[in-house]
C-alpha cells in the first residue's frame, strides 16, 4: 500500500516529463467504484444478530471514536490551516473514518485462527466498522455540500462560484439569484449573488443538507435493497446477482455524487448491503463479500498509485505536507485514546482494549476513495487557482497522510498484539459485566 503510493509519487514528480497525467474525468469512475466496494463490505458487516447480541459495545465503538476524532480534527485543522468550518469538517470526517479495506481483512483473518474461534471481538468490531463508515461518509458528504452545494446546476459566472467556495459557504442555485445578478449588470454579479446566498436556507443550512442526504440515501438503500432481495428469491445465479447489485449501487453513488449528494451515495450503498446482509441467504452474503473483496483488490493496484501521482510537489507546498502529517498523527493518537476508553466503557477486557485502540486507527480505503473528491469538484466548477483550490489540496494532503500512517500502523499493531495476545483475546467470555 505504502509502496504503491510512493511509486505514484515518484513517477509524477521525478519522471514528470515522461508520464501522461490521467484526466480527472477518467479517474472519477474508478474512485467511485472503489468506494462502492469498500462501503458495500462495511454494509455487509451490519448484521442484526451480531448487533442485537452486543448492542452496547457495537454502538459505543461505532459512534464515539469517529465522532470525537472528527470534532477534534475539525478544530485542529481550523486552527493549523485556517480553514472555515465546512472545509475543516470535510477534512475531519474524511480522515476520521476507519478503513474497511484494512480492518475487515485483518479481522476476517483473525477469525480463521483456532485461538480466535468463539471470540465476540471480531464480529463486534466488524459491525462497528459499518456504523463508523456510515457516520464518517455521511458527515463528509454533508460538509462537502455545505461548501459546494448544487453549484453544478448554476449558470452564474465562475467568479461567483469561486467567491462562495473561498468563503467556505454553500454555493447555491436560485432562479431569483440569477435574475437579480443579471439585472444588476456584470459589475455587481458577484456582490449580488453573495448577498442572496445568505438567504438560501435550504442549501446553506447544514441541518437541511443533512435531511436531504439522509432521505435520499436511506430511500435509495431501501429501493435497491428490496430489489436485491427480490432478485435473490427469484433464483438468479449468485455471480450475476452480485455483479448486478454492485453495478446498480455504483451507478446510484455516481448519480448522487453528480447531483451534489456524496453523503447520500455512501449511505445508500451501505444501507442496501445492510439489507442484503439481514434478509438474503447466508451463502449469497458470503459469496458477495468475497466478490466485493475481489473488486477492491482489482482496483487497489490502480487506485493507490493514482493517488500518489496526484501529489505534485510543485503545486502543494512542502510545509503543507509536513503539517498534514503532524495533524493526522495527532488525530490518530487522540482516536487511539478515545477508542481505548470507549472499549473500556463497552465492557471489554484490558487485552481487548489494547487490541481495539490500535486496530481502530486503521485508515486507507475510504480515504483513498474520498481523497480527490474536493479536487475533482474544484476542477468541475473551474475554481483552479482560487483559495478553494488551495483548501482542496490541504484536504487531499491530510487524506494521503492518513493512508500513509493509519494503514501500516494498524496492520503492524494486529501482527504484534493479534499473535501475542490471541490466547487472552480468543475467549468468548472476555466481555466483562459493568457494575
The answer to whether residues 271 and 278 touch, using CB atoms and an 8 Å cutoff, is no
Question: Is pLDDT at 358 greater than 80 in this prediction?
Answer: yes
Confidence of residue 188 (pLDDT cuts 50, 70, 90): very low
pTM of this structure: 0.73
The answer to whether residues 238 and 253 touch, using CB atoms and an 8 Å cutoff, is no
Question: Is pLDDT at 196 greater than 50 in this prediction?
Answer: no
Determine the Cα–Cα distance for residues 59 and 128; give it in Å rounded to an integer: 7
Angle at 429 between CA 425 and CA 430, to 5 degrees: 45
Confidence of residue 219 (pLDDT cuts 50, 70, 90): very high
Looking at residue 261, its pLDDT comes to 75
Determine the Cα–Cα distance for residues 48 and 17; give it in Å rounded to an integer: 54
**Contacts within 8 Å (CB) and 24+ apart, 23-27:** 24/372, 24/375, 24/376, 24/379, 24/380, 27/306, 27/372
Measured in whole angstroms, how far is the alpha carbon of residue 156 from the centre of its chain? Answer: 30
Confidence of residue 303 (pLDDT cuts 50, 70, 90): low
Determine the Cα–Cα distance for residues 356 and 309; give it in Å rounded to an integer: 33
Looking at residue 169, its pLDDT comes to 47
Determine the Cα–Cα distance for residues 419 and 410; give it in Å rounded to an integer: 14
Q: Which residue has the cell 500518489?
A: 308
Question: Is pLDDT at 412 greater than 90 in this prediction?
Answer: no
Read off the pLDDT of each residue in 97-103 and give the average, rounded to a whole number. 81
Amino acid at each position: 500500500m505504502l509502496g504503491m503510493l510512493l511509486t505514484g509519487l515518484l513517477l509524477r514528480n521525478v519522471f514528470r516529463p515522461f508520464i501522461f497525467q490521467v484526466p480527472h474525468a477518467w479517474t472519477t469512475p474508478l474512485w467511485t467504484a472503489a468506494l462502492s466496494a469498500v462501503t458495500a463490505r462495511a454494509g455487509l458487516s451490519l448484521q442484526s444478530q451480531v448487533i442485537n447480541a452486543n448492542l452496547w459495545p457495537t454502538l459505543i465503538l461505532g459512534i464515539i471514536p469517529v465522532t470525537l476524532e472528527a470534532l477534534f480534527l475539525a478544530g485542529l485543522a481550523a486552527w493549523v490551516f485556517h480553514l472555515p468550518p465546512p472545509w475543516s469538517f470535510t477534512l475531519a470526517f474524511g480522515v476520521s473514518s476507519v478503513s474497511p479495506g484494512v480492518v475487515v481483512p485483518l479481522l476476517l483473518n483473525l477469525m480463521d485462527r483456532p485461538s480466535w474461534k468463539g471470540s465476540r471481538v471480531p464480529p463486534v468490531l466488524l459491525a462497528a466498522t459499518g456504523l463508523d463508515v456510515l457516520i464518517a461518509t455521511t458527515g463528509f458528504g454533508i460538509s462537502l455540500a455545505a461548501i459546494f452545494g448544487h453549484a453544478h446546476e448554476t449558470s452564474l459566472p465562475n467568479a461567483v462560484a469561486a467567491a462562495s467556495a473561498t468563503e467556505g459557504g454553500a454555493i447555491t442555485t436560485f432562479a431569483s439569484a440569477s435574475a437579480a445578478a443579471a439585472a444588476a449588470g456584470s459589475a455587481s454579479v458577484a456582490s449580488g449573488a453573495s448577498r442572496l446566498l445568505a438567504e438560501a436556507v435550504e442549501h446553506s443550512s447544514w441541518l437541511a443538507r443533512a435531511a436531504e442526504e439522509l432521505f435520499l440515501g436511506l430511500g435509495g438503500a431501501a429501493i435497491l435493497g428490496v430489489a436485491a432481495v427480490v432478485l435473490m428469491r427469484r433464483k438468479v445465479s449468485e455471480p450475476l446477482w452480485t455483479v448486478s447489485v454492485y453495478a446498480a449501487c455504483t451507478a446510484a453513488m455516481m448519480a448522487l455524487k453528480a447531483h451534489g449528494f456524496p453523503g447520500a451515495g455512501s449511505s445508500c450503498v451501505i444501507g442496501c448491503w445492510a439489507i442484503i446482509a439481514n434478509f438474503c441467504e447466508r451463502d449469497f452474503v458470503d459469496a458477495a463479500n468475497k466478490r466485493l473483496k475481489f473488486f477492491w483488490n482489482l482496483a487497489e493496484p490502480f487506485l493507490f498509485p493514482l493517488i500518489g501521482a496526484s501529489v505534485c510537489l510543485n503545486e502543494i507546498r512542502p510545509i503543507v505536507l509536513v503539517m498534514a502529517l503532524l495533524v493526522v498523527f495527532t488525530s490518530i493518537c487522540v482516536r487511539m485514546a478515545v477508542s481505548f476508553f470507549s472499549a473500556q466503557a463497552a465492557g471489554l477486557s484490558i487485552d481487548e482494549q489494547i487490541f481495539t485502540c490500535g486496530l481502530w486507527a486503521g485508515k486507507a480505503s475510504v480515504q483513498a476513495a474520498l481523497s480527490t473528491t474536493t479536487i475533482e469538484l474544484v476542477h468541475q466548477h473551474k475554481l483552479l487557482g482560487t483559495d478553494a483550490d488551495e483548501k482542496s489540496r490541504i484536504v487531499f494532503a491530510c487524506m494521503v497522510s492518513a493512508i500513509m500512517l493509519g494503514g501500516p500502523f494498524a496492520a503492524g499493531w494486529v501482527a504484534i498484539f493479534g499473535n501475542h495476545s490471541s490466547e487472552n483475546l480468543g475467549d468468548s467470555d472476555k466481555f466483562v459485566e459493568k457494575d
